[in-house]
């Protein structure tokens, strides 16, 4: 019999009062992969994660962690959770925090000590192990938050926006930590609203909006299924786009927002030529022109009509 998937979520519905948070979410995390759950704030990412860790009870649908219900001891022991907020004891040191969460995970004695040392090393906090947690930098706290969620070496890790509010340098360290986990064969569900992160880290991506998974697959699959061969052309005008130019651009299928012009093109060279001719004819100078192969941003925009960053 094949080993059950690390995570199977089927048709999960969850409401908070009259507000529907999840409208029948279905997704899988396969062994050893990083599944990115990408969506804007309020889309339902955290509710999915909280349902998987047993902190939210869906009205319907099913959740299975390695084939078991979320509150089954096997499921509890094999999953780890790094919540979005920094859920640590700020008056304790990193070592004491890890000791506390290690004990809650059932670790004792030498195994606990070894796990603390390993986690401090992994998070790059060995030299700050005895400082007060409240005195650590934001990035360090984030890494300690991750270490606390993985001290028991889970086989499935749920990472809920682990890089929110983190500077670029610290972000790189967190990416490196995630890379190590992946190398160890840990399966991850990674929620984010940063497309770059999803593109860079995730093997597959599920896009969630208004409590529904609206598309899922590898980056290429998503781009291909949503955008086909079209590529994105963006032009930044050096002066406001006048009515005549706007009309011409709209006729070419481009959208105009202030000085920004954007369009998807099946035949980019021809479209670029036509756009440039229109600008030239209306004597409007151009500051910048970019051609981008299909991005997740375009995918999201195309699927929802909204920008992910909005």
Partner 1 sequence: MNLRHDRAAFVLSFVVPIVFFSIFAAIFGGAGRSTTRKITVAVVDEDQSDNSRRFVEALRAEGGLAVVTAPEIKSGKAAPFTAATAEAAVRAGDFPAALVIPKGFGAIPIRFGPEGQHPRLTLLSDPSDPVAPHVLGGLVQKVAMTAMPESMARGGMDEIDRWSGGLTPQQRARMEEVLAQIRQQRSIPSSAGSRASGGNSGSGLVDVDQRAVLGQKKKNPMIAFYAAGIGVMFLLFSAAGAGGALIEEAESGTLDRILSTRVSMTKLLAGKLVYLAWLAATQLLVMFVWGSMVFGLEMRGHWGGFLIMTVATALAASTFGLLLAAVSRSRMQLVALSNLSILAMSAVGGSMFPRFLMPEVIQKIGLVTINAWAIDGFQKVFWREEPISHLAPQVAVLIGVAILLFAAARRVARRWEAT
Burial class (CB in 10 A: 0-12, 13-18, 19+), 119: buried
Tell me the CA distances in angstroms from 271 to 92, 183, 231, 300, one per residue in order. Answer: 60, 43, 10, 22
Beta carbon of residue 101, minimum distance to partner 1 (angstroms, whole number): 7
Length of the chain: 310
CB of 241 to partner 1, least distance (A): 46
Instruction: Tell me how far apart the alpha carbons of residues 98 and 93 are, in angstroms, rounded to a whole number.
Output: 9
**Please, which residues have CB within 8 angstroms of residue 4's CB and are 6 or more apart in sequence?**
64, 66, 67
User: Is residue 191 a contact residue for partner 1 (CB under 8 A)?
Assistant: no
The answer to whether 156 touches 2, Cβ cutoff 8 Å, is no
176 sits in which H/E element: helix 168-183
140 is a site residue for partner 1 (CB under 8 A): no
By C-beta, is 90 or 225 nearer to partner 1? Answer: 90
Nearer to partner 1 among residue 56 and residue 249 (C-beta): 56
- Which of 41, 57, 135, 218 binds partner 1 (CB under 8 A)? It is 57
Q: Are 199 and 225 in contact (CB under 8 A)?
A: no
Q: What does the per-residue mask of binding to partner 1 show for 146-175, with x meaning CB under 8 A?
A: --xx--------------------------
Between residues 134 and 250, which has the closer beta carbon with respect to partner 1?
134
**Euclidean distance between CA atoms 310 and 193, whole angstroms:** 11
The reply to whether 90 sits near partner 1 by the rule CB under 8 A is yes
Q: What residues between 100 and 139 interact with partner 1 by CB under 8 A?
A: 101, 104-106
**Nearer residue to partner 1 within complex by CB, 78 or 263:** 78
- Which tokens sit at 11? 């048709």
Q: Does 291 bind partner 1 (CB under 8 A)?
A: no
**Is residue 77 at the binding interface for partner 1, with CB under 8 A as the rule?**
yes
Q: Which of 12, 48, 81, 162 binds partner 1 (CB under 8 A)?
A: 81
Residue numbers at the binding site for partner 1 (CB under 8 A): 16, 53-57, 73, 76-77, 81, 83, 85-90, 101, 104-106, 148-149
């Amino acid at each position: 019999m094949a080993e059950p998937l690390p995570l199977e979520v089927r048709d999960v519905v969850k409401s908070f009062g009259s507000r529907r948070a999840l409208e029948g979410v279905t997704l899988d995390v396969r062994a050893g992969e990083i599944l990115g759950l990408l969506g804007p704030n309020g889309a339902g990412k955290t509710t999915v994660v909280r349902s998987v860790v047993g902190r939210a009870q869906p009205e319907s649908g099913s959740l299975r962690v390695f084939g078991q219900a979320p509150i089954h001891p096997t499921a509890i022991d094999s999953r780890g959770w790094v919540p979005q907020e920094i859920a640590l004891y700020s008056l304790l040191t990193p070592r004491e925090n890890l000791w506390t969460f290690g004990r809650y995970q059932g670790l004792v004695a030498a195994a606990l000590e070894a796990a603390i040392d390993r986690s401090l090393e992994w998070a790059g906090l060995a030299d700050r192990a005895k400082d007060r947690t409240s005195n650590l930098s934001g990035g360090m706290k984030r890494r300690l938050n991750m270490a606390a969620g993985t001290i028991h070496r889970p086989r499935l890790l749920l990472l809920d926006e682990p890089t929110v509010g983190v500077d670029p340098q610290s972000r790189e360290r967190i990416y490196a930590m995630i890379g190590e986990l992946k190398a160890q064969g840990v399966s991850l569900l990674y929620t984010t609203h940063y497309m770059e992160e999803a593109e860079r880290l995730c093997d597959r991506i599920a896009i969630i909006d208004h409590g529904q998974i609206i598309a899922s697959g590898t980056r290429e699959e998503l781009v291909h299924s949503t955008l086909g061969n079209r590529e994105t052309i963006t032009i930044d005008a050096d002066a406001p786009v006048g009515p005549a130019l706007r009309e011409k651009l709209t006729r070419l299928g481009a959208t105009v927002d202030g000085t920004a012009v954007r369009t998807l093109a099946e035949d980019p060279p021809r479209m670029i030529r036509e756009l440039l001719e229109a600008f030239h004819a209306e004597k409007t100078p151009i500051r910048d022109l970019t051609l981008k192969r299909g991005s997740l941003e375009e995918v999201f925009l195309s699927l929802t009509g909204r920008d992910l960053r909005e």
